[in-house]
């Protein structure tokens, strides 16, 4: 059983195949970050399943480096260049993201392309039930998350210089095609529900209401909270960000209310089976009402489709992690435990699809 909070919090020494050369890196960063000074002490963050992320302690301050993993990669995955560009744009308009410092698109310095950003002090909570918080803090954090996501979706991409960050229209159709292809490329076992979803989804896509910047994986453990209050200091992990359907992005956030709990603690967190009222966490209807009120968009008419789509998508993403275990490119020691989560999540997707009745 994985204790997510202890397993994914903090740092460790990088594995040999993920180690960085501090001297070579220091020389590069001194040329590309104002005021940067070596030496560098390098530790790898335990959390995250996709792009290796490192804490850099230097005499000029603390930074975070995020890079592509080495080895064979799936097409269009690990898009650290896109992370850098969207975070730079959002920081300029005051959305809570770390300040990015430099992007290196070559592989000579760190073995793969990378970018560096400021370290943001705070805490990451890996369980959506927030076991160490009180009722009032949980309520405030969930309200802050819905508000932040609504704020993101209300931004005009063109006005913040992200008008060319993606095609925007037909987002869900393109996502279905992308994750169907990546699921097939990383498949390690036959899951009949995934095959059914690949056939079911394309013919039932609702009309997209708006084109927005979408995060792609907005949830509590991709947020840095202030250490002493329920305030969002930074939203992180923008690897899947693009222009797209904000309702699809919001309903990705809603999955934790329907996520099958994991016997091992692997995968993503779940609120299923918990007394939400006692915890101070809003139920699904209250969260949807809050988001609809903030954005003016309708979520309820197509909720079942969007939930089924998002469960299919997360199953494909987790299958990609399992595929990286197979290929020897996984960056997290708990990655192999993800294999057990793919099938129950796919089964959940198909149950929701069947209940949609169309």
Strand partners, 61: 58
Among 69-73, 209-213, 341-345, the least confident range:
69-73
Per-residue pLDDT tens over the stretch 131-179: 999 999 999 999 999 999 999 999 999 999 999 999 999 999 999 999 9
Cβ atoms 167, 307 nearer than 8 A: no
The reply to whether 125 falls in a domain is no
For residue 44, give the 3-state DSSP assignment: strand
The reply to whether 161 falls in a domain is yes
Cβ atoms 335, 224 nearer than 8 A: no
Per-residue pLDDT tens over the stretch 83-124: 999 999 999 999 999 999 999 999 999 999 999 999 999 999
Nearest Cα to 313, choosing from 281, 275, 353? 353
Per-residue pLDDT tens over the stretch 272-301: 999 999 999 999 999 999 999 999 999 999
| Residue 329: band (very low, low, confident or very high) from pLDDT cuts 50, 70, 90 | low
CA 58 to chain CA centroid, Å, is 28
Are both 17 and 71 inside the same structural domain? yes
Are both 207 and 325 inside the same structural domain? yes
Q: For position 291, which CATH number holds?
A: 3.90.1200.10
Q: Cβ contacts of residue 348 below 8 Å, gap of 6+?
A: 258, 259, 260, 311
User: Distance between CA 177 and CA 165 in Å, rounded?
Assistant: 19
Among 75-89, 100-114, 227-241, the least confident range:
75-89
Q: For position 51, which CATH number holds?
A: 3.30.200.20
Are both 183 and 140 inside the same structural domain? yes
How confident is the prediction for the chain on average, in pLDDT?
92
Are both 346 and 224 inside the same structural domain? yes
Which burial class, exposed, middle or buried, applies to 147 when counting CB atoms under 10 A from its CB (0-12, 13-18, 19+)?
A: middle
Query: Could you tell me the residue range of the domain that residue 205 belongs to?
Result: 135-356
């Amino acid at each position: 059983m994985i204790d997510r909070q202890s397993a994914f919090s903090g740092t460790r020494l990088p594995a040999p195949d993920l180690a960085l050369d501090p001297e070579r890196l220091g020389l590069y960063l001194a040329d590309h970050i104002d005021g940067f000074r070596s030496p560098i002490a390098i530790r790898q963050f335990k959390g995250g399943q996709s792009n290796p992320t490192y804490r850099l302690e230097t005499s000029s301050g603390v930074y975070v480096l995020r890079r592509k993993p080495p080895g064979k990669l799936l097409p269009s995955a690990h898009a650290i260049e896109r992370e850098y560009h969207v975070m730079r744009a959002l920081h300029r308009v005051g959305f809570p993201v770390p300040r990015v410092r430099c992007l290196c698109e070559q592989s000579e310095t760190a073995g793969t392309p990378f970018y560096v950003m400021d370290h943001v002090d705070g805490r990451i909570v890996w369980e959506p039930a927030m076991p160490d918080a009180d009722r009032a803090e949980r309520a405030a954090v969930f309200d802050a998350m819905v508000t932040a996501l609504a704020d993101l979706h209300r931004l005009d991409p063109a006005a913040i210089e992200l008008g060319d960050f993606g095609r925007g229209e037909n987002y869900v159709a393109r996502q279905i095609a992308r994750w169907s292809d990546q699921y097939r490329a990383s498949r390690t076992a036959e899951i009949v529900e995934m095959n059914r979803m690949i056939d079911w989804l394309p013919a039932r896509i609702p009309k997209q209401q708006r084109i927005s910047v979408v995060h792609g994986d907005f949830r509590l453990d991709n947020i840095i909270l202030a250490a002493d209050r329920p305030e969002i200091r930074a939203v992180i992990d923008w690897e899947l960000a693009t222009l797209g359907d904000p309702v699809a992005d919001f309903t990705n956030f809603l999955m934790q209310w329907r996520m099958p709990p994991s016997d091992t603690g692997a995968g993503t967190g779940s609120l299923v089976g918990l007394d939400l009222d006692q915890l101070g966490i809003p139920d699904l209807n209250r969260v949807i009402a809050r988001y609809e009120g903030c954005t003016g968009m309708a979520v309820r008419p197509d909720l079942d489709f969007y939930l089924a789509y998002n469960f299919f998508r997360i199953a494909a993403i987790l299958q990609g992690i399992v595929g990286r275990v197979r290929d020897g490119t996984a960056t997290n020691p708990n990655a192999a435990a993800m294999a057990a989560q793919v099938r129950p999540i796919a089964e959940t997707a198909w149950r929701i699809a069947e209940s949609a009745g169309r």
